[in-house]
Amino acid sequence: MENSMFCFQCQETMKGTGCILKGICGKDATTARYMDLLLFVTRGVSIAADLCRANGIAVGTPVNHYVADALFSTITNANFDSESILNRIYSGLKFRDELILMLNEKNIAYPQVEEMTWNGDDQTLEEQSAKVGVLSEPNEDLRSLKELIVYGLKGMAAYLEHAMRLGFDDESIHLFIQQTLATIATKDQSVEEWTALVLRTGEVGVQTMALLDKANTTRYGNPEITKVNIGVGNNPGILISGHDLHDIEDLLKQTEGTGVDVYTHGEMLPAHYYPTFKKYSHFVGNYGNAWWRQREEFSSFNGPIIFTTNCIVPPLKNANYMERMFTCNATAYPGCEYIPTESDGHKDFSKVIELAKECSSPTEIEHGEIIGGFAHNQVLQLADKIVEAVKSGAIRKFVVMAGCDGRMKSRDYYTEFAQSLPQDTVILTAGCAKYRYNKLGLGDINGIPRVLDAGQCNDSYSLAVIALKLKEVFGLNDINELPIIYNIAWYEQKAVIVLLALLSLGVKEIHLGPTLPAFISPAVLNVLIDTFHIGAISDVEQDMQWMK
């Protein structure tokens, strides 16, 4: 079928099976196929790089950065620009061929798989892109396990790229990503071996999130309990979305003294929790809610919007903010100006700032404050208070409600679930799922807020650190003996690596929703159920039985 595609990597995939004509996310079939081809080329780069290293041939840092960026750019809602993806394909072919040349010079044979032999001819590009997608693996269960790994690698690459932009890197993570992509392309393994690699991906996911946590806290300090304004000021403003703290640092520095205020949107909310950013008086607050509300919220904001990472919802044709949208890093959208990273690692936001000066101040859509900043360092400072509350019975259970938000009506479940929780329970959250309940005014227990927001989706690592510390404090042998249940909402691939990280830590009894991933086959799901007791959410009344 002309312009056909197949993609089932996100929670909202069409009919819960797969998008075949156009992505529910908004990407067209051509872009989707080019993303398949980009992953195909990236596997070729990884095969060549892995083989070079195995034979003592140095592989430069640019290859590592390329692979991470290529994976990141194919995450849901990150890049909608075919030309941008094509440029990455051509860059990858150049990297691959340079590595192959070094192998040839030493007479080192390499696997004769298409990832290594396709010549990148423009005449065969469309044909090649149509045949290298997800369905090229005919075995449903192997496909399921491989895609579970690949989506975990995408989330891992996203977190790794954020750390790299702050000057923190770990060669072993790059090696794992590239070796795993090479394995997927060249090796026949049993279901058991692929399952083991799934768990290994989770382990390296923990390592990657720990690296990013170190990068963020070293650069900006440990997050602190913070009340964040959700109203607006009178100055024109710039709204920054996504996850990249390096970009918001650049923006705050460049807007200081200009009369332009800076607001966060969606997953950028936790930037307010870091001590370094609190010195900027023009860092006004958080505007709006989760990513999927942006069409209405960007319209009323009136000023420029910067996308630092995924979370783009394609604007409607009559949108009044299209000309105010800017993208950078792995993101791109046709018709929107792209802000490159300069050679010194920084970005020049002068065009955005000048545009902001011509715009009206934001239209207020909410007022008041929300509280956050409960990452592991801050919570562990409260450990004695929390332990006392648990021992006294004031806190009977913790509920981890981390993850992603999304558009489906069924996600109202999470608001209703939070509202229905007994008053002796505390919600631990991270990611944009919090917007379903962080403004409900659920109160506190002995001064401990009943919603403890650790931060962005990558800060789910904090929740794991907190759980492991509580296990130690209570002298337990198993993390699953803690009074903690897991009700995780997912949407895209960063949530996948968080899930795999939890599994690698031995966490069981995770309930996942609002639907189970389409890329998990029935047989693989049975393995997850049998091994980790993973289940789907049902309805609030029935799921309240967990609390007993």
Look at residue 73 and tell me if it is in a domain: yes
| Residue 1 pLDDT class (50, 70, 90 cuts) | very low
Q: 223-281 pLDDT, tens per residue?
A: 999 999 999 999 999 999 999 999 999 999 999 999 999 999 999 999 999 999 999 99
Q: 81-140 pLDDT, tens per residue?
A: 999 999 999 999 999 999 999 999 999 999 999 999 999 999 999 999 999 999 999 999
Q: 474-530 pLDDT, tens per residue?
A: 999 999 999 999 999 999 999 999 999 999 999 998 999 999 999 999 999 999 999
Q: Which domain holds residue 107?
A: 14-200
Q: So what's the pLDDT on residue 30?
A: 96
Cα–Cα distance, 421 to 427 (Å, whole number): 9
Cα–Cα distance, 496 to 460 (Å, whole number): 12
Q: 387-416 pLDDT, tens per residue?
A: 999 999 999 999 999 999 999 999 999 999
Mean pLDDT (the chain, rounded): 96
Q: So what's the pLDDT on residue 545?
A: 86
Average confidence (pLDDT) over 58-71? 97
Look at residue 219 and tell me if it is in a domain: no
Domain CATH code at residue 450: 3.40.50.2030
Residues 440 and 542 in one domain: yes
Residue 346 has pLDDT above 90, yes or no: yes
- Amino acid, single-letter form, for residue 309: T
Q: So what's the pLDDT on residue 82?
A: 97
Residues 349 and 378 in one domain: no
Average confidence (pLDDT) over 17-33? 96
| Boundary residue ending a domain (289, 322, 357) | 357
Domain CATH code at residue 40: 1.20.1270.20
Could you give the number of structural domains in the chain? 3
> pTM for the whole thing?
0.97
Residues 246 and 188 in one domain: no
| Boundary residue ending a domain (304, 332, 357) | 357
- Which residues, other chains included, contact 434 with Cβ-Cβ below 8 Å and sequence gap of 6+? 401, 451, 453
Look at residue 409 and tell me if it is in a domain: yes
Residue 547 has pLDDT above 90, yes or no: no
Look at residue 211 and tell me if it is in a domain: no
Q: Which two tokens stand for residue 186?
A: 């060249």
Residues 353 and 385 in one domain: no
Look at residue 254 and tell me if it is in a domain: yes
Name the helix (H) or strand (E) containing 102: helix 82-105
Look at residue 163 and tell me if it is in a domain: yes
Average confidence (pLDDT) over 195-210? 97
Residue 304 has pLDDT above 60, yes or no: yes
Residues 345 and 403 in one domain: no
Residues 58 and 82 in one domain: yes
Report cis status (omega within 30 of 0) of the bond before 514. Answer: yes
Residues 30 and 173 in one domain: yes
- Cβ burial, residue 362 (10 Å; 0-12/13-18/19+): buried
Average confidence (pLDDT) over 5-15? 97
Look at residue 4 and tell me if it is in a domain: no
Residues 344 and 377 in one domain: no
Q: So what's the pLDDT on residue 4?
A: 87
Residue 3 has pLDDT above 70, yes or no: no
Average confidence (pLDDT) over 190-203? 96
Look at residue 396 and tell me if it is in a domain: yes
Residues 480 and 521 in one domain: yes
Residues 377 and 335 in one domain: no
Cα–Cα distance, 388 to 385 (Å, whole number): 5
Secondary structure (DSSP) of 237-282:
EEEEESS-HHHHHHHHHHHTTTT-EEEE-GGGGGGGGSGGGGG-TT
Cα–Cα distance, 80 to 260 (Å, whole number): 29
Residues 88 and 140 in one domain: yes
Q: So what's the pLDDT on residue 546?
A: 78
Residues 53 and 190 in one domain: yes
